[in-house]
């Protein structure tokens, strides 16, 4: 059969087939071996032809906007391998990703008579796959980093506790100054470790409260203004700000987390405008959601950078960046059940869009009197397999006026409890052979009324009720300050 004899009726045998094809959402075209479209379904006409029939056109014109057959056409590879080859492309005309598959139609002599070309928009599914891959990658790294974070927290507990104790042994101003620097460094290290633990995206250890987002964003702008406006002016750079924030932007969340996330975004925007530019911040509520946009007119990002922007430790700032910023932002927004997207073009700037759930609960200013901690001297048993942690906790508690007994193994601690009466038991979570949870259970079997405080360097994701079910009264995250330890003990005494 010659090419001239090929007609629609030769390939599409029944009229009912056309009506079936018109009800398929994928756009389908029937082409001859010269790439001319012989038939098209309704979806193809709407999507590729703006509602007009595609018959008589060439597939490369309508699918790709080209004037000649595509170099990456999947048809030749399909013919040579016998496998249906799928091809993903980005179409700048629509700003969307598409998948194409070519199904050849051959004669009895295995000559190409024509082919069916099937295409579909995969932008949404691609976005879901990328998001899923991103979350799996972060979760995997979270599992790895959690062990490292635990060890760091133990070390920082020792450093912080020892610095606090040494400050009480001297009045020398220079010595006190150096101890204060050590203490501050330990606290900064603890904050970095907490951000590492946030990679798991599962932390819910803080109760959410009503937040006025308009007020919070205004606070962030005021806090960051010295960098993005005042310092820039000194350097001869002008960064103009445009701020449009609607009223009634109430969400349930954690103010420090959201404040830190917004500050990270603002600092990144400023860094992206080394020669100055316009920083636009808008926020509005609609249909139960609050949309916040941070837009800059900076250098923009490549597709590769956009794909990796939320990866932990990825940074475009060289030695000046830690790579924790946007990864931390991603974790904060996810914990607030929100969404974050990035739209950027090289040379045209970047737009960070955040969606958060709106609440009808209004933030109320409550003035709290200074907390006065009153602790009655108690008889306390401390159990931890790390000797230096045991020494620090024991010395701090003794310094606070308590009578302290320490045990470096869980079994010894349980046996010691059976021999003596203790007002409070403090136990580490991660110990060999017997965990802190098991210690708590066995202590409660001896005396159910004894309060138990669990020390841990892990980022636990347990609500208060779950903690109670595990026979633990309070959880104290390492590293902790003397005031935090004293506060927890005062609570268990009530």
Instruction: Output the tens digit of pLDDT for each of the chain's 494 residues.
Output: 444 455 555 555 545 666 767 778 888 888 888 889 998 998 888 888 888 889 999 998 888 888 888 888 888 887 777 778 778 877 777 777 888 888 888 888 878 888 888 888 887 776 666 666 656 665 565 555 566 666 777 788 888 888 878 888 888 888 888 888 787 777 767 766 666 655 544 444 456 889 999 999 998 888 787 766 766 666 677 888 899 999 989 999 988 889 888 988 998 898 899 888 999 999 999 989 999 999 999 999 988 888 888 876 555 554 344 335 787 888 889 889 899 999 999 999 999 999 999 998 876 654 455 455 566 788 999 999 888 889 889 988 998 889 999 999 999 999 999 999 899 999 998 888 898 999 999 999 999 999 999 988 776 655 667 777 888 988 888 888 888 888 888 887 66
For residue 250, the surrounding DSSP H or E stretch is strand 250-253
Pairing outcome for strands 379-383 and 424-428: parallel
In whole angstroms, give the CA distance from residue 90 to residue 227: 38
User: 219 and 241 in contact (C-beta within 8 Å)?
Assistant: no
CATH of domain 8-121: 3.30.450.20
How many other C-beta atoms are found inside a 10 Å radius of the C-beta of residue 120? 17
Whole-angstrom CA distances from 426 to 117, 161, 410 are 69, 16, 11
**Cis peptide, bond prior to residue 3, ω within 30 of zero:** no
∠140-209-324 over CA atoms, to 5°? 30
Q: Please report, for the chain, the start and end positions of each structural domain, with discontinuous segments joined by +.
A: 8-121, 127-200, 209-357, 379-492
> What would be the CATH architecture of the domain defined by 379-492?
3-Layer(aba) Sandwich (3.40)
Rounded-to-5 percentages of helix, strand, coil across the chain: 45, 25, 35
- CA R_g for the chain: 32
Show Cβ contacts of residue 354 under 8 Å, excluding neighbours closer than 6 positions: 291, 292, 293, 294, 333, 338, 339, 340
Helix axes 482-492, 387-399, angle to 10 degrees: 70
What pTM value is reported for the model?
A: 0.45
Pairing outcome for strands 379-383 and 339-345: unpaired
40 bridge partner residues: 29
Q: What is the pLDDT of residue 293?
A: 96
Query: With respect to CATH, is domain 209-357 assigned 3.30.565.10?
Result: yes
∠460-462-468 over CA atoms, to 5°? 120
Q: What is the pLDDT of residue 404?
A: 94
In whole angstroms, give the CA distance from residue 43 to residue 51: 9
């Amino acid at each position: 059969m010659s090419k001239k004899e090929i007609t629609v009726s030769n390939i599409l045998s029944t009229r009912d087939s056309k009506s079936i094809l018109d009800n398929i959402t994928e756009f389908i075209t029937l082409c001859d071996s010269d790439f001319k479209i012989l038939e098209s379904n309704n979806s193809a006409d709407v999507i590729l032809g703006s509602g007009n029939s595609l018959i008589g056109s060439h597939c490369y014109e309508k699918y790709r906007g080209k004037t000649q057959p595509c170099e990456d056409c999947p048809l030749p590879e399909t013919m040579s391998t016998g496998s249906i080859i799928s091809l993903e492309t980005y179409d700048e005309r629509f700003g969307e990703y598409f998948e194409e598959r070519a199904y050849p139609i051959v004669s009895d002599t295995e000559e190409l008579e024509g082919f069916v070309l099937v295409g579909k928009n995969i932008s949404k599914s691609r976005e879901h796959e990328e998001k899923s891959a991103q979350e799996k990658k972060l979760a995997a790294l979270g599992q790895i980093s959690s062990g490292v974070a635990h060890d760091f927290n133990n070390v920082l507990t020792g450093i912080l506790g020892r610095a606090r104790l040494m400050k009480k042994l001297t009045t020398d101003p220079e010595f006190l100054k150096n101890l204060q620097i050590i203490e501050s460094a330990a606290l900064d290290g603890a904050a970095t470790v907490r951000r590492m633990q946030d990679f798991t995206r599962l932390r819910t250890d803080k109760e959410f409260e009503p937040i006025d987002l308009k007020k919070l964003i205004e606070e962030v702008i005021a806090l960051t203004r010295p960098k993005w406006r005042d310092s820039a002016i000194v350097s001869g750079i002008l960064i103009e700000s445009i701020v449009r924030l609607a009223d009634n932007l109430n969400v349930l969340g954690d103010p420090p987390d959201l404040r830190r996330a917004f500050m990270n975004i603002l600092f990144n925007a400023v860094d992206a405008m080394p020669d100055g530019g316009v920083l636009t911040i808008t926020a509005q509520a609609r249909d139960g959601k609050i949309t916040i946009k941070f837009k800059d007119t900076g250098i923009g990002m490549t597709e590769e950078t956009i794909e990796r922007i939320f990866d932990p430790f990825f940074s475009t700032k060289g030695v000046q960046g830690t790579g924790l910023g946007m990864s931390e932002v991603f974790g904060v927004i996810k914990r607030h059940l929100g969404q974050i997207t990035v739209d950027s073009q090289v040379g045209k700037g970047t737009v960070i869009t955040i969606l958060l759930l709106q609440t009808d609960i209004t933030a109320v200013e409550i003035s709290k009197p200074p907390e006065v901690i009153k602790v009655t001297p108690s008889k306390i048993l401390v159990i931890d397999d790390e000797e230096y942690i045991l020494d620090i906790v024991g010395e701090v508690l003794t310094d606070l006026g308590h009578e302290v007994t320490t045990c470096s193994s869980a079994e010894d601690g349980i046996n010691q409890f059976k021999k003596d009466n203790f007002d409070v038991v403090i136990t580490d979570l991660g110990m060999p052979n017997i965990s802190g949870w098991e210690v708590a259970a066995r202590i409660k079997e001896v005396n159910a009324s004894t309060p138990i405080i669990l020390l841990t360097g892990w980022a636990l994701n347990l609500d208060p009720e779950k903690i109670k079910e595990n026979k633990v009264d309070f959880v104290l995250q390492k590293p902790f300050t003397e005031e935090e330890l004293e506060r927890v003990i005062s609570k268990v005494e009530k």
